[in-house]
Amino acid sequence: MSKSFDMIVIGAGPGGYVAAIRGAQLGLKVAIVEREHLGGICLNWGCIPTKAMLRTSEVFHLMHRAKEFGLKAEGIGYDLDAVVKRSRAIAKQLNSGVGHLLKKNKVAVLMGEATLPAKGKVSVKTENGTEELTSNNIVLATGARARELPGLEADGDLVWTYKHALVPKRMPKKLLVIGSGAIGIEFASFYNALGSETTVVEVMDRILPVEDAEISTFAKKQFEKQGMTIREKAMVKQLDRGKGKVTAHIEAAGKVTKEEFDTVISAVGIVGNTEGLGLEALGVNVDRTHVVTDVRCRTGVDGLYAIGDIAGAPWLAHKASHEGVMVAELIAGGHPHAVDADSIAGCTYCLPQVASVGLTEAQAKEQGYDVKVGRFPFIGNGKAIALGEPEGLVKTVFDAKTGALLGAHMVGAEVTELIQGYVVGRQLETTEEDLMQTVFPHPTLSEMMHEAVLDAWGRAIHY
Ligand SMILES: Cc1cc2nc3c(=O)[nH]c(=O)nc-3n(C[C@H](O)[C@H](O)[C@H](O)COP(=O)(O)OP(=O)(O)OC[C@H]3O[C@@H](n4cnc5c(N)ncnc54)[C@H](O)[C@@H]3O)c2cc1C
């Protein structure tokens, strides 16, 4: 006999488990189905384990600078197995935490592979057989996986995806990273800091191509100072795999050059987990591996919603979670606001960090805004100098007519923690006047956020 629920969530990543908990908080009888690991990619193979590894490389980098801080550190080295062990233990801790939260909220958890045999029905293949569930509200939160390009497929030995790169058995000596989005750059930063000779190849005209062009240029210079090789407007056409080495054919400006590496990380985007669910038979519109939805995550099939990575860009955990909350509230009869994609910050936890929200200067101009742009360099900030982090930039983009904050862009130490100040500002529809009137504590890096606003109106004090 099938079990009936008010809401069934498929996939327990940051989209799915948050939707399930919010639904349960609102009094719904909720089930969640997960085929692999509670917490999804984010907690197990994405956001969290990468940040654990990047913390290692950051501390390692600082240890090499010990003398600058009046400290002595000799014989600095690392134990790769221990680095990986720490990262995996943190992922495990959070994975257990999600299990605990679901239990506390009385969400029924089914470990198994879900399919949708008919409207309102979910079939779950578990270790103990198949379970049939029914509900008028089904939330697809099945996420995404690494995109594999023909000829550049991962083999786990010489060519890695993010999963392999998170559990390396050896440190690459000469590493090629294909793709310079957040995932590619974070791995490039980690391995470069630990001593791999690292080359990043990006097909677009600049690295971190979704960021403001000035921020990309600034970040590139910093990476090059750290010894990375950056090749823009270049494409890896072919990988010849040999014994312990890969020959990459790299095309740039119409010329193909060959270069040898011992490891390649392919970070060329992601594809949605849409296949095998039965979406075609239900009439769900899937466009280039992502489920098409309206602004409230409705698929067009009555009672079927899609959230998070499977529902398209931006492919970020906090976007997935926010959509999860919105959909649960909708199902419970509420009238939640649609998620505003333009006010979702993007963060890259490389060295130096990069963070942004809203429109870049170029996008704002393309959209016809008359812009006022403010900039403030880290070198003008006392706290940045005291921290030994004088390299960085904060940039703001305003609508000159209304004073609306159109976008904010940062590169430098701790900017991933700072960006939320501007996100709150955008959410509250702040203008330059509100931001200028706000008192920022001293000494903090956040003072640069104030100065970058003041600068847009020619009023910066410290630069
Ligand atoms: C290396 C890396 C680093 C990242 N770093 C960040 C970061 O710093 N910040 C950030 O915001 N984002 C980051 N991301 C992206 C982030 O991980 C995703 O945006 C987020 O996990 C999406 O959440 P989701 O709930 O949509 O899907 P997922 O987390 O992918 O979860 C989907 C779940 O559904 C399950 N599933 C799939 N199909 C079925 C089925 N048929 N039946 C049952 N279960 C199923 C899967 O097993 C999975 O557990 C990173 C990603 C990677 C790969």
User: What was the pLDDT predicted at 1?
Assistant: 66
In percent, the amount of the chain with pLDDT more than 70 equals: 100
pLDDT at 390: 98
Q: Is 269 annotated as a binding residue?
A: yes
Condensed to tens digits (0 to 9), the pLDDT of residues 81-139 reads: 999 999 999 999 999 999 999 999 999 999 999 999 999 999 999 999 999 999 999 99
Nearest protein CA to atom 50 of ligand 1, as residue: 46
The answer to whether the CB of 308 is under 6 A from ligand 1 is yes
Residue nearest to atom 37 of ligand 1 (CA): 142
Residues 67-92 pLDDT 10s: 999 999 999 999 999 999 999 999 99
Q: Is 442 a catalytic residue?
A: yes
- Binding site membership of 352 for ligand 1 (Cβ less than 6 Å): no
Total Cβ atoms within 10 A of residue 113: 16
Q: Is 202 annotated as a binding residue?
A: yes
Q: From CA 118, how far away is CA 116, in angstroms rounded? A: 6
Look at residue 188 and tell me whether its pLDDT is greater than 70.
yes
Q: Whose CA is nearest to atom 7 of ligand 1?
A: 47
Distance 147 CA to ligand 1 centre (A): 13
Going from the C-alpha of 122 to that of each of 10, 32, 304, 361, the distances in angstroms are 9, 11, 11, 46
Q: Which atom of ligand 1 is nearest to the CA of 115?
A: 41
pLDDT score at 117:
97
Give CA–CA dist 178/264, Å, rounded: 7
Residue 57 marked ligand-binding: no
pLDDT value at position 96?
Answer: 97
Question: Can you tell me the distance from the alpha carbon of 260 to that of 258, in angstroms, rounded to the nearest whole number?
Answer: 7
Does the pLDDT at position 19 exceed 80? Answer: yes
Name the average pLDDT for the chain. Answer: 97
User: What is the tens place of the pLDDT at every residue in 141-171?
Assistant: 999 999 999 999 999 999 999 999 999 999 9
CB 14 within 8 A of CB 42: yes
- The CB of 323 under 6 Å from ligand 1? The reply is no
Mean pLDDT of 325-334: 98
Amino acid 419 reads I
Mean pLDDT of 179-190: 98
The predicted structure's pLDDT at residue 2: 80
The model's confidence at residue 21, banded by pLDDT at 50, 70 and 90, is very high
320 lines ligand 1 (CB under 6 A): yes
pTM value > 0.85: yes
Domains of the chain: 3-146+271-341 (3.50.50.60), 159-267 (3.50.50.60), 352-456 (3.30.390.30)
Which pLDDT does position 26 carry in this prediction? 98
